[in-house]
Structure 1
Amino acid sequence: SRNVSFTDLYPGATYEISLVYETSSTNFTQCASHPNVTTSPPSLRGRCENVASGYSALIVWDKAEGVLTKILVHMNGKNHTVDGKEDRFTIPGLQPAKTYPVALISMSGNRISGPFDFICATDNRGVIAGSVVGVLLFAVLVCVAAFILLKSGKKSIIAGSKKTGPKKTTISVATFPEHFMLLSADENRGFSEEYESLEPVGKDQTHKAASLPENKSKNRFTNILPYDWSRVKLITPSPSDTLDYINANYMPGYNRNREYIASQGPLTATVPDFWRMVWEQRVKGIVMVTNCVESGRTKCDCYWPEDQKPCLHGDLLVTMSSEQKEPNWTLRNFRQLEKERAVGINDFVHRMRQHRSHMVQTESQYIFLHQCIMDCLKQKEKKEESDYENSDLIYANATALREFHNHNTGA
């Protein structure tokens, strides 16, 4: 049997489990990436208590037996995170004499309970006074609106037809230095405007599979979820949004729309799925762009064996054949720069964000990409060879990395 059941465990508690696989010749110890298992947290029962004036509501819940790290209160389209030791939370920004659906969810580490749903009705005091003021205000607004329409005339029609679609921003090699200086002027004002224009890209796309209750524990961060249309699916006997789920997306490259895969740093429980994806997608190389622990927080579980001993991840036996540590990396090839004599950083970041959220997370990282191209062009001015290679050039952007760490620390 491949399954073992445990009973009478404490809700939300973390237990250490050791597994040993026996074969005819030897024994394999389960990988160190599977030491702990957290049980499901206890479910909560909540209720709503009115607050005078009706513009806020007090959500109260009974404390349950178990280990709770956080409590999630969903109301009025927003999620509010509360410390697990609390038993109440006030929701502001509501309207009097209205009903709001509320969902109460308990969390223990990465495990979440099923939601407890109920309806909260706000107090109706202040509605009459508010109605009188509203009528007077509406009359004033009608007069002001009529005046503005008469004043603006045809201008409003012209302004309303302005297109807001993405602009083509491919820059030729010859003009890129001038373009870089233009964006750098006024304390990088141009970079700020370009980066801000990328903020809404991709946010209208769905991530239903990632939001399923069965899949939520497989996500390291709640705000970085794979879009449904571009997510990588594990091979399963039959279609299933839970069995085939992994937090990873296909990413575009220079040659194909599915040239790379962007994945979250594996969690303890998702390391076997990570290696399944590597095997099924025939991945030739893995680039880890984070440390296992940064700013005191775990960003990526150790998915490789830490010694030469074979390690089982699900049905896959992983062995580290060799290890070579280097302090830095060297970027050697810019294919688009070579073949087209042009580069479109803004366009490509736009494409990446359509495939996966939060690609290039800070403005400093966005500027850093441009600086890399500038460094590449400066090296080309000193050489006549067509291929770019400079083993002494090391890219290091402390500000971008620091902001990246700070951004994820608050995620």
Structure 2
Amino acid sequence: MEAHLLRFVERVRCLSDNDSSGDQLISTEFNLIRQKSASLKEDYGLTTAVGEIKENAKKNRYRDILPYDQTRVCLAPTPSEYESDYINASFIKGAAKNRMYIATQGPLSSTVVDFWRMIWQHNVKVIIMACREFEMGKVIFIFHLFSFQVNTRHLSTQETRKVSHFQYTAWPDHGIPDMPDGILGMMELARQKQGNQTDPVVIHCSAGCGRTGVICAVDYVNDLLLMEQIQEDFNIFDLVLELRRQRPSAVQTKEQYAFVFHTVAQMFQKVLEMKNKNTETSASLYINAVPAKTSLKSGSLGNHTDPNFHISNPVCGCLRCCRCGPTMHQSSQAAHSKMWKINFLFSVNELLCSLTSQYNLIQTTLVYKLAM
């Protein structure tokens, strides 16, 4: 397998060294992916009928990103006010038989209940969020957990579960992080939290396809590494096409596609370093694998010393109001006051926050109540 890893790293280095020609090769591959993606529906009989239903259309953040009926997540039946089984989310198979992802959009104010229904019903232990709460003036994620009671005739129980919520804060929409290290570090912690659990990992960004697809691709390759199943014909092209067969537009831009190459090359390089026990030689092999031109200067989104990267006591129900400016805070507070009128599935008993320069880890205890 080492020869296959080395060959891939060499290819990425050559693409970087060739500069414009390397960029052209990436562009050519990605354009071919887009062309093939257009025929996936016909080739595999994929449909999006459920997401197009009038009652469900309002639950989609973007009209052109709908889950395939064949891979969509179906919510279990609940009381009549939540009778729809639709949520804009797709199952994606992992490399290992017991590995599964749920790729989903950032919940809307009208779908946040459905989001937490999905978390509960699929016994999710880990959520990875590859965006900020607010992006380009839009609310991307509403992290509210309220109590919700379901009256039944024969059942009375209260179950408690813990969910770890990882948020990567330095990844702009349609862009890429400056370097892969932060993503790889966060994903390693997420894998530790997931452990040997076979329940799906929920991954989302804004639309649940671009940044979400990158994370799915990288984690998929990581599993192949752990199982030592990197074959001679391994390539990112086929992997992204397979992801797109399960979730539309997974890995959405050429830059994100290139970022998968560089991130995977870094993963392979670290494995080679461990096997060769010669970091000087192996490090020189990768020194130009991630050229400066691939870095995205994302302004405040990429500012890892931002003093607003701090979590204090929330005053309006928003977990990070300390990061909202006065105007945003006031509008946020007004919006949240309306949200209190909605019954949610869960209540927060515990909130533990651990912050690094690029990602947050929030552990919450979720309580689901079924009362007589």
Q: TM-score, normalised by structure 2?
A: 0.50
- 1:174 counterpart SS class: helix
Structure 1 residues 195-206: aligned runs within 5 Å: 195-200=30-35, 201=37, 202-204=40-42, 205-206=46-47
Whether the 8 Å CA contact 1:304–1:320 is kept in 2: the answer is: no
- After TM superposition, give the deviation of residue 181 of structure 1 in Å: 4.0
- Render the CA deviation track for 1:99-142: whole Å, top value 9, x for unaligned: xxxxxxxxxxxxxxxxxxxxxxxxxxxxxxxxxxxxxxxxxxxx
- Partner residue in 1 for 2:9: 177
User: Matched residues in 2 for 1:322 and 1:231: separation?
Assistant: 23
| Distance verdict in 2 for CA 1:325–1:229, change over 3 Å | closer
| Distance verdict in 2 for CA 1:401–1:244, change over 3 Å | farther
Give yes or no for the alignment of 1:284 onto 2:125. Answer: yes
- Render the CA deviation track for 1:146-174: whole Å, top value 9, x for unaligned: xxxxxxxxxxxxxxxxxxxxxxxxx9213
Count how many residue pairs are aligned between Structure 1 and Structure 2: 218
- Partner residue in 2 for 1:209: 50
- After TM superposition, give the deviation of residue 276 of structure 1 in Å: 0.9
| Distance verdict in 2 for CA 1:274–1:182, change over 3 Å | same
Equivalent residue letter for 1:281: H
- Render the CA deviation track for 1:22-66: whole Å, top value 9, x for unaligned: xxxxxxxxxxxxxxxxxxxxxxxxxxxxxxxxxxxxxxxxxxxxx
- Render the CA deviation track for 1:354-395: whole Å, top value 9, x for unaligned: 011111111111111110122223333433389xxxxxxxx9
- Partner residue in 1 for 2:68: 227
Structure 1 residues 205-284: aligned runs within 5 Å: 205-236=46-77, 243-256=84-97, 259-284=100-125
- Partner residue in 2 for 1:340: 229
- Partner residue in 1 for 2:143: 303
- After TM superposition, give the deviation of residue 282 of structure 1 in Å: 1.3
Whether the 8 Å CA contact 1:234–1:276 is kept in 2: the answer is: yes
| Distance verdict in 2 for CA 1:400–1:273, change over 3 Å | farther
Equivalent residue letter for 2:138: R
Q: Identity across aligned pairs (percent)?
A: 29
- 2:250 counterpart SS class: coil
Whether the 8 Å CA contact 1:173–1:337 is kept in 2: the answer is: no
**Higher relative CO (CA 8 A, sep ≥ 6), structure 1 or 2?**
2
Equivalent residue letter for 1:195: F
User: Matched residues in 1 for 2:137 and 2:149: separation?
Assistant: 29
User: Matched residues in 2 for 1:243 and 1:382: separation?
Assistant: 51
- 2:62 counterpart SS class: coil
Pick from 262, 270, 277 the counterpart of residue 379 of structure 1. 270
**Bigger share in helix:** 2
User: Matched residues in 2 for 1:217 and 1:274: separation?
Assistant: 15
- Partner residue in 2 for 1:370: 261
User: Matched residues in 2 for 1:304 and 1:318: separation?
Assistant: 17
| Distance verdict in 2 for CA 1:379–1:258, change over 3 Å | closer
Equivalent residue letter for 2:12: F
User: Matched residues in 1 for 2:130 and 2:48: separation?
Assistant: 24
Whether the 8 Å CA contact 2:50–2:86 is kept in 1: the answer is: yes
- 1:251 counterpart SS class: strand
Whether the 8 Å CA contact 2:127–2:165 is kept in 1: the answer is: no
Equivalent residue letter for 2:111: T
| Distance verdict in 2 for CA 1:378–1:258, change over 3 Å | closer
| Distance verdict in 2 for CA 1:279–1:187, change over 3 Å | same
Unaligned runs of 5+ in 1: 1-170, 306-310, 387-394, 406-411
- Partner residue in 1 for 2:296: 399
Whether the 8 Å CA contact 1:226–1:248 is kept in 2: the answer is: yes
| Distance verdict in 2 for CA 1:317–1:361, change over 3 Å | farther
User: Matched residues in 1 for 2:97 and 2:230: separation?
Assistant: 19
Pick from 345, 353, 357 the counterpart of residue 244 of structure 2. 353
Over aligned residue pairs, what C-alpha RMSD do you find? 3.9
User: Matched residues in 2 for 1:197 and 1:257: separation?
Assistant: 31
User: Matched residues in 2 for 1:215 and 1:192: separation?
Assistant: 35
Whether the 8 Å CA contact 1:362–1:400 is kept in 2: the answer is: no
| Distance verdict in 2 for CA 1:325–1:362, change over 3 Å | closer
- After TM superposition, give the deviation of residue 251 of structure 1 in Å: 0.5
- 2:275 counterpart SS class: coil
- 1:312 counterpart SS class: coil
| Distance verdict in 2 for CA 1:284–1:400, change over 3 Å | farther
Unaligned runs of 5+ in 2: 151-157, 170-181, 189-218, 278-289, 303-372
- 1:369 counterpart SS class: helix
User: Matched residues in 2 for 1:367 and 1:287: separation?
Assistant: 21
User: Matched residues in 2 for 1:318 and 1:271: separation?
Assistant: 20
- Partner residue in 1 for 2:26: 191
- Partner residue in 2 for 1:11: none
User: Matched residues in 2 for 1:277 and 1:323: separation?
Assistant: 14
Q: TM-score, normalised by structure 1?
A: 0.46
- Partner residue in 1 for 2:175: none
